[in-house]
Amino acid sequence: MRIFLISTLLILFSTNTAIAANELALNPEQIKALGISSVPLPAPGTGLISGIPAQVVIPGNQMFIVSTPLPALVEQTLVGVGDHVRKGATLARLQSPALAEAQRSLLQASTQAQLAQGNFTRDEQLWKDGIIAESRFRSAQSSYMEASAALAERKQVLLLSGMSAKAIASLQAGENLNSLLEINSPIDGVILEKLVNAGQRLESTTPLFKVAKLYPLGLEIQAPLASTEGIVEGAAVSIPAYNASGKITAIGQSLSDSNQTILLRAIISKGTQNLRTGQHVDVSIATSASRKAQWNIPNGALARVEGKSIIFIETPSGYRPVAVTVVHEGAKNTLISGTLKGSERFAISGVSELKAQVMGIGGGE
């Protein structure tokens, strides 16, 4: 079929005796026979760089690692991967002798603080009445301050261990010691990883869960250096295949050693429900206005002849090859610039046949 098409092409082109310099003369019947069709150039102005690879990520300030604050034994886990949780929801229950020991230390510090406070109050009054020396009053004051600091430290340890201020107050009011340690979610989010199981013994700071907010999502975009001209912070970003969009938030200042690309970061605020973290996608980025007009055309409309990139502009008598500059070539579309008015029509099919004739006129590629 291909041989037949080329033969037909040569027969048709051999009948053309009115070929102007750098112009391919074709009548409507020949254009139809070769399957050539044209469309107007898209509107110039703000360019759109398409087909840039990116990966969906979670912004760093939306990811939390929930760890055990004390050595413990996992008694029960209450959530699994993919579960949605509310802030403060219990994720797991642990048994921790270290928690009971911390509570005992709090009660001891509370008793000592009460005793020190009583001594300080008494000695302060005696000093004001001139009964005791100032040095004794100052000693009682110092002891009270040290005991208060120790009590505050013990409370902070329990707060960091997961006990609420209300539970600590109840403990000081006479509630019994308790080794049950409840691990709660720090945010409204989704469980991304569950790292422990019931019956597992844990050391202090062992990670238990990864919890994250999945709105908005982030993008890490690896853009070729030549494609970043005209990209600014705040530029619109879209993921056409998943109907998602957002904006550029940061532009890297150094090149990757492996592939000489620049890292761009973006926030996706629309269509996040269609994406998954870790997913690889192709994105489009709007570029700022340039001195040179730019057009976004299908990849199939671009031909390369003798090292040059060309498109075929429709003329009254056929088509004329015009050299263009490739700004960025994506998976489906290519962003070009060149000496075009913007009102021209260009070939989007039958381009290989037009290229073959150009090569024939020039004596080959």
If asked whether residues 150 and 181 sit together in one domain, one would say: yes
Please state, in angstroms and rounded to a whole number, the distance separating the CA atoms of residues 323 and 190.
52
If asked whether residues 226 and 188 sit together in one domain, one would say: no
Domain hosting 336: range is 2-45+291-361
Confidence of residue 221 (pLDDT cuts 50, 70, 90): very high
* Domain final residue, candidates 286, 311, 331: 286
Please state, in angstroms and rounded to a whole number, the distance separating the CA atoms of residues 330 and 284.
9
Beta-carbon count within 10 A of 197 CB? 9
If asked whether residues 326 and 222 sit together in one domain, one would say: no
Encoded tokens for 28: 């409507």
- Hey, which residues does 335 pair with through a beta bridge? 296, 328
Encoded tokens for 235: 């530029």
Q: How far is CA 304 from CA 268, 295, 339, in A?
A: 36, 17, 17
Q: Are 63 and 75 in contact (CB under 8 A)?
A: no
Per-residue pLDDT at 11: 42
Mean pLDDT of 342-358: 91
Q: What is the CATH number of the domain that holds 166?
A: 2.40.50.100
Residue 2 pLDDT greater than 60, yes or no: no
Q: Is 287 left (phi over 0), alpha (psi -120 to 50) or beta?
A: beta
Please state, in angstroms and rounded to a whole number, the distance separating the CA atoms of residues 227 and 163.
53
Residue type, 125: Q
Beta-carbon count within 10 A of 111 CB? 13
If asked whether residues 114 and 191 sit together in one domain, one would say: yes
Mean pLDDT (the chain, rounded)? 87
Name the helix (H) or strand (E) containing 50.
strand 48-57
If asked whether residues 139 and 74 sit together in one domain, one would say: yes
Nearest CA to 71 among 103, 92, 99?
A: 99
Confidence of residue 306 (pLDDT cuts 50, 70, 90): confident
If asked whether residues 222 and 281 sit together in one domain, one would say: yes
Q: How many domains does the chain have?
A: 3
Please state, in angstroms and rounded to a whole number, the distance separating the CA atoms of residues 96 and 114.
28
If asked whether residues 249 and 177 sit together in one domain, one would say: no
Express each pLDDT in 262-293 by its tens digit.
999 999 999 999 999 999 999 988 877 555 67
Percent of the chain with pLDDT over 90: 63
Please state, in angstroms and rounded to a whole number, the distance separating the CA atoms of residues 41 and 43.
6
Mean pLDDT of 50-60: 91
Residue type, 236: A
Please state, in angstroms and rounded to a whole number, the distance separating the CA atoms of residues 314 and 40.
9
What is the pTM (predicted TM-score) of this model?
A: 0.65
If asked whether residues 134 and 250 sit together in one domain, one would say: no
Please state, in angstroms and rounded to a whole number, the distance separating the CA atoms of residues 106 and 355.
85
- Hey, which residues does 280 pair with through a beta bridge? 55
Express each pLDDT in 116-126 by its tens digit.
999 999 999 99
* Domain final residue, candidates 212, 242, 263: 212
Please state, in angstroms and rounded to a whole number, the distance separating the CA atoms of residues 280 and 250.
19
Beta-carbon count within 10 A of 153 CB? 12
Cis peptide before 216 (omega within 30 of 0): yes
Per-residue pLDDT at 6: 42
Nearest CA to 338 among 299, 284, 302, 287?
A: 302
Q: How far is CA 243 from CA 220, 239, 265, 273, in A?
A: 18, 6, 19, 10
Nearest CA to 168 among 189, 154, 180?
A: 154
Report DSSP letters for 246-280, one per residue.
EEEEEEEEEE-TTT-EEEEEEEEEESGGG--TT-E
Q: What is the CATH number of the domain that holds 329?
A: 2.40.420.20
